[in-house]
Structure 1
Amino acid sequence: MSRILLVEDDHSIADMISIYLSEENYSVSIAYTGQEAIDLFNEAEPDVLILDLMLPDTNGIDLCKQFRSKSTVPIMIVSAKSEVAERVNALMNGADDYMCKPFSMRELAARTSALLRRSALTRKVKAAASAASTKPAAQQETSDIVVDMEKRCIYVHRQPVETTYSEFEIMKHFWLHPGKVFSREELLNNIRGIDSFVTERSVDVHITNLRKKVETDPKDPKHIKTVWGVGYKFQQ
């Protein structure tokens, strides 16, 4: 049974979400404040974090950044703030998905399932990851970027780089398919699932953030290339 940590200060909304997701066979823990969420996080060991931005004791974005700094758990933001700037800000600060209130419980469950499916995919690609890691030692030594699937870590010049869940998923697909051109739609489907509504702008935000983390000159990228009119590709 997948575990969800729900951070929501409105008790009625929290109860409604908890009841619905429990009926969908999820184990749900509820925190009503940011501090309760921090205290409960290690105990609950969630597979997905559902986080409201408007909390009584802290800024939800700050809390999102705090969780992202120590964990790769998928984070879904739920908020009454529907502006594009708010959604982009959340994605740039570690969120993997964003839902605007009010929303349907069915859609929330579908998006949660999509995030979990992407996590499960990581375990299923271990065989492919092993094949990718069997490059000759000399080649590995000269590679600027190395992706460790089991540790879910990206190394740039042998130094670990912190990434969000979605950033790692994008980089993983690039790494497993060097030279392949991915459309934005394909990348969205890979990281979230076709039943989760997100925009192509989300991919551009993740790509921009990835370039800042892995490229020597993000404005003139050597590895993550734009294929104009199509999408993106990775070259080592």
Structure 2
Amino acid sequence: MKILLVEDESKLSEVVKSFLEAENYEVAQAYDGIEAVELFEREEVQLVILDLMLPKLSGEEVCRKIRSQSNVPIIMVTAKVEEEERIEGLSIGADDYVIKPFSVKELVQRVKTLLRRSYSDGPKAEKYSFNDGDLEIDLSAGIVLKDGIDAGLTGSELKVLKTFLANLGSILSRDQLIEKSFGYDYDGNDRTVDAHIKNIRHKIEDNPKEPEYILTVYGMGYRFGVKR
């Protein structure tokens, strides 16, 4: 698998690259935001490690450009430590978040975990269609269509949606959504789940403030509330 490593600190980039190559990953390196977008459009990569503090084009803008054309997993790397900044990173399409300074070994493990979850050969999911084709979902192909147009869900958002569809009609707490969607070792929190729900609603609901698909059950969690 090929990884796009976007990091303007050349020494750090070389260290991370060497650790990834030791695990038999192929690594393409970019040192600024514009180069990152160009490389992504030219190379076929399976994961992006993306620093946010980049010259020429910010990491946030790079993430948005990648998300406009792909659901490839993205790990954001940044010195920003405030929770709101991490939530913002997730809201624009990141699948995981690493704070500088970090352990390169931990980063590599996160890469392995995210790749395994994103490209595992699990059983093919069935196709779903709601409200006479208003919302169409093919989880085996990773496609979600809203009014016939690709809704652009990220890999993490697809995992959450798959959990809802596997538990149609059931109320799922935030903890259950984390466990069923991302596994026991996921280090996100309630706010992270809420951010994913908010993003999904904006992509599949006619009115995110009055959702008809993902419903809030106050004091309990969420449920997918429409009948097929």
User: Which TM-score applies when normalising by structure 1?
Assistant: 0.86
CA contact (8 A) 2:3 2:45 kept: yes
Matched, 1:109 2:99: no
- Structure 1 residue 39: deviation in Å? 2.2
**2:122 counterpart (116, 121, 124):** 124
The farther-off stretch of 194-203 and 139-148 is 139-148
Aligned to 2:47: 48
- Structure 1 residue 231: deviation in Å? 2.3
Aligned to 2:27: 28
Deviations for 1:38-95, whole angstroms, at most 9, x for unmatched residues? 2222443111100000111111101110001011101110001111121111111111
CA spacing shift, 1:15–1:92, aligned 2, 3 Å:
same
Report the aligned-residue RMSD: 2.1
CA contact (8 A) 1:115 1:192 kept: no
Identity %: 41
How does 1:1-236 map onto structure 2 within 5 Å? 2-121=1-120, 123-126=121-124, 129=125, 132-133=126-127, 142=132, 144-236=134-226
Distance across 1 between alignment mates of 2:198 and 2:130: 25
CA contact (8 A) 1:114 1:195 kept: no
The farther-off stretch of 107-116 and 64-73 is 107-116
- Structure 1 residue 205: deviation in Å? 0.6
Deviations for 1:136-183, whole angstroms, at most 9, x for unmatched residues? xxx767354221124322123434312222112211222233123333
Distance across 2 between alignment mates of 1:46 and 1:112: 13
Distance across 1 between alignment mates of 2:17 and 2:55: 20
* Structure 1 unaligned blocks of 5 or more: none
CA contact (8 A) 2:71 2:152 kept: no
Distance across 2 between alignment mates of 1:196 and 1:28: 25
Matched residue type, 2:35:
E
- Structure 1 residue 233: deviation in Å? 1.6
Matched residue type, 1:173:
T
SS in 1 for 2:175: helix
Matched residue type, 1:7:
V
Distance across 1 between alignment mates of 2:112 and 2:221: 26
Distance across 1 between alignment mates of 2:3 and 2:182: 17
* Structure 2 unaligned blocks of 5 or more: none
The farther-off stretch of 186-195 and 108-117 is 186-195
CA spacing shift, 1:44–1:188, aligned 2, 3 Å:
farther
- Structure 1 residue 207: deviation in Å? 0.3
